[in-house]
Every structure is written in C-alpha cells, then in structure tokens.
Amino acid sequence: MGRDVDRAAFSREDRVRYRQKVRRCLDVFALMLDDFGFDADRPMTGLEIELNLVDPAAEPAMRNEEILAAIADPLFQTELGQFNLELNASPRLISGGGFADYERNLLGSLNRANERAARSDTRIVLVGILPTLTERHLVAENLSTNERYLVLNDQIVGARGEDIELDIRGVERLRTHNDSIAPEAACTSLQFHLQVAPDSFADYWNASQAIAGAQVAVGANSPFLYGRQLWAETRIALFEQATDTRPDELKAQGVRPRVWFGERWITSIFDLFEENVRYFPPLLPICESEDPVEVLHAGGVPELAELRLHNGTVYRWNRPVYDIMNGRPHLRVENRVLPAGPTVVDMLANAAFYFGLVRGLAEADRPIWSQLTFSSAEENFHAAARRGMDAVLHWPRLGEVPVTTLVLDVLLPIAAAGLDGFGVAPRERDRLLNIIEQRCRTGRNGAVWQTATVWSTERHRGLDRPAALHHMLQRYAELQRTNEPVHTWPID
C-alpha cells in the first residue's frame, strides 16, 4: 500500500461508497481483460528492497526521515518503521547484461546512500529481520510519521479489536503481544516484479506459488527475532501474525487472513482481484473522482484507483498488480516471499533463480500445478520457512525430497532454460545460478551463517545472546560491503 492518505477516520457512508466503487472497478477490469491492449511485448522486471538503518553499536536507528532527506534520491522511500527505508530499482529487461546493470545500479545507489547516512553515524543493512531488534523498538511511537502508516495501523488494530498476539514456535519460542502493527516493520523483504500478458498471467502466478517453498529455503535470512532463534525465515510467520485483523473467533470460523498464500490455482488474474473484493472488507475506503466506466467508453485507460488500493491491503505472497506506465496498462506478478540481503549479488542470484524458474515452469508442456496440489505448495512454503536449507519438500514424481536435492537436480536446469528464454547472457546466467548451486552444496545461506556465527560467538567468546547478536550483526555488515556471496563468508 504505497500511496499517501490523509484520512484518520472513515464514515459508514465512506465504506458503502468505496465498496460500490471497488465493484464498479472490478467490472471495468473484467471488460478490459476481454479486449484491451495491455503492454506485454517486452517483459520488464523490477526489484524493491527494504532496508534497515543501524547506529555504530548495531542498534536500530530511528532516523529514516533525516537519512532520506540526506540521500535526496527519489528511488529511496520511507517504510513502516523509522529504522526502515525502501529502494526501488529502475525497471528493466534482463536480456543480455540486464542483471549486471541491476548490480551496478544497486551497488551505486546503496554506496551513495551509505555515504550520506554515515554523516549521521548511520549505516544501511540488508537483512530479513534486524537481529538486534527488541520489543522496546517495535512500538507505535517508532512507526514512520507518514500519515498512511498511522491510518493503516489504526484500521488494522481497530478491525481486530484487541492486541495483536505473536506466537512463533521454532528452535526457541516467542510469545508476546503488541497494541500496534509495529512488529511488521521488522519484516524487510526483497520483492520481484515481472510483467506478463493477460492470457499468461495465471500460468506465471501458479508457477510462482509452486516454487515459493524452494525460493524461501535457499534464500532464508531471518532466523532471529527479539533475541530468539525461531524459523530460518521467521519473517513469514511474523508478517502473517503482525497484520492479522482476525480475533480468535473469526479464525475459528475460517475467515481468510489478510496475509495470504491463497487457496487454489487460478485460471485468470481476475480470480485474484475478485477474491480480494469478495473476501476482504476495505481497510482504507478512499474514493477518487474517476468514473472508470466513462473513461473506458471514452477510449481512455482507467486508473481503477479503488481496486488497486484495496489490492494493496491484501498481502498475498504473490500479488497481482494492475498498473499504468507511459499511458499503457500492464499486469505484473509481484513476488514477495524473500528477505532482503545478505548482499546485492545474493539478491540478484535469488532474482535469476526466480525469473528463470517461473518462466521455465509457466511455459512447460505439462503445468506443474496440474501435478502438485495447492495444499502441498502451501505446506512446502511453510516447511521451507521453518527449516530453510534443511527443509524436505513434496514434489511431483519425487515425493518427499530434500530441498537441496530438488534445487540441484530439478529446478536449476529449469531456471537456466528459463533465463535463456529471456535472452540472459550465458555468463550472467551461470554466474548467478552458480551462487544458488553453491548454497545448496555448502548448505549455507544467510540464515545458516547468522545462526552458526551466533552459536560460535556464544560458545567460543563466552558472550550472552544479546552481545552475540550485536557482534554477529557488526560482522555481517562488514562482509555485506564486500558483495561476496554469503556461502563464501567465514564463520569466526
């Protein structure tokens, strides 16, 4: 939900009007899918990276407005917490040397931002959950001051009607509660965007759902929260719980959560937008003046603002996106399952694995979703979040298989073929997919490095958990600046 709002309260009339407008937008969207010219000739990609700010002691630095002003770059924006920023890479094709262009631009942007932040004794860290966060940091007072975050907090907490409970059982257990959505700010993610044609959207979304487990397993980088070791990718459980608008009674009734994997394979992007309208009450009932029917009949491109805003408050792990660029509408799959970090090259390896694999599966003669049940895909996703590189996933014709074996023997060749389909230069394809391969062969991703380093520090240096986490994060930040992939990082 990236737009600004300036309404702190909504009337009953606002909600009725908004619901009617959303349904009107949905009807127009259905008409557009039938015969409108969507931009799909050259499949553009995009990346969004959420960032953490820390001080010299590796504590969260609640200074995003100050740092954002110092950076003075429109590619950087605020995020939910005052210790968060977001970097939006310029969209591009990945054919040829597209990934190398991403790498140069991201490194340049982050280096410039770090130089400006350093003047305020602050640095940027790319990690799924900042390991030194504690309950005293994740409070309503540390939400960003942008009005949209404050209104969203009020609406989610108000819809729930009680404190938000966190109960995550992993290697250790965390059970606590909060009176705001501030814990969501701990979830710093890496998001991929892939532009697709309307008639192939369902294939790409289904494929994205099918591979979410494998993505999370090899890319996990969020093992600690509030000083406890929980899941390999704790961010998944935290995000699902920190934005849950349902009290226990609604959960028992089977009401869908707003952070949602989904419940079925789809045949059209319309299925997802229609589910959003049918299942989820509006959080931000803000209406614009546009009449989408009139715009469409006049030969224009409807903004569908209400439908897009509503879509932005349903947090699917693979989200459908309708957007307009240079006067032409297009559709995107927004893949949201991965954490930020550990390095830029690690994130681009994750990108190459995703873009290649999703294309390879979406264009396969026999769709993977005709062989894998949707419930198995969801179980794979949560098993991977819990166990990371040690996860065992279900896969057609293989049954239960270690994720590293699945990736090495089955998924990497598909990803390589998919990247060839995009026209990625062979050198870039091999360089980035080799990082995924080496993670599987060494058994080391970001989560493994973090937990092994903390364990080693506790055992060999005699530090307690908080001190070990601070030491680990300082070392993590040093190694991150080298841009060497995490599987090569020493544990010391």
- Written as one letter, the residue type at 226 is Y
Instruction: Give CA–CA dist 180/259, Å, rounded.
Output: 16
| Size of the chain in residues | 492
Whole-prediction pTM: 0.96
Q: How confident is the model at residue 466 (pLDDT cuts 50, 70, 90)?
A: very high
Percent of the chain with pLDDT over 70: 98
pLDDT, one tens digit per residue, over 220-276 is 999 999 999 999 999 999 999 998 888 889 889 999 999 999 999 999 999 999 999
Q: Which domains does the chain have, with CATH numbers?
A: 36-261+317-488 (3.30.590.20)
Question: Helix 201-219 crosses helix 426-442 at what angle (to 10 degrees)?
Answer: 50
Pairing of strands 173-178, 164-169: antiparallel
- Written as one letter, the residue type at 185 is A
Question: Would you say 156 and 245 are in contact if contact means Cβ atoms under 8 Å apart?
Answer: yes
236 versus 325: which is more confidently predicted? 236
Signed CA dihedral, 93, 99, 101, 103: sign only: positive
CA–CA distance from 26 to each of 21, 169, 200, 289 (Å)?
A: 9, 40, 19, 16
For the cut 60, the answer to whether the pLDDT of residue 210 exceeds it is yes
Give mean pLDDT, residues 51-58. Answer: 97
pLDDT, one tens digit per residue, over 300-324 is 999 999 999 999 999 999 999 999 9
DSSP secondary structure of 457-475:
HHHHH---HHHHHHHHHHH
For the cut 50, the answer to whether the pLDDT of residue 1 exceeds it is no
Q: What is the pLDDT of residue 216?
A: 98
Q: How confident is the model at residue 148 (pLDDT cuts 50, 70, 90)?
A: confident
Q: What is the pLDDT of residue 2?
A: 46
Q: What is the pLDDT of residue 5?
A: 53
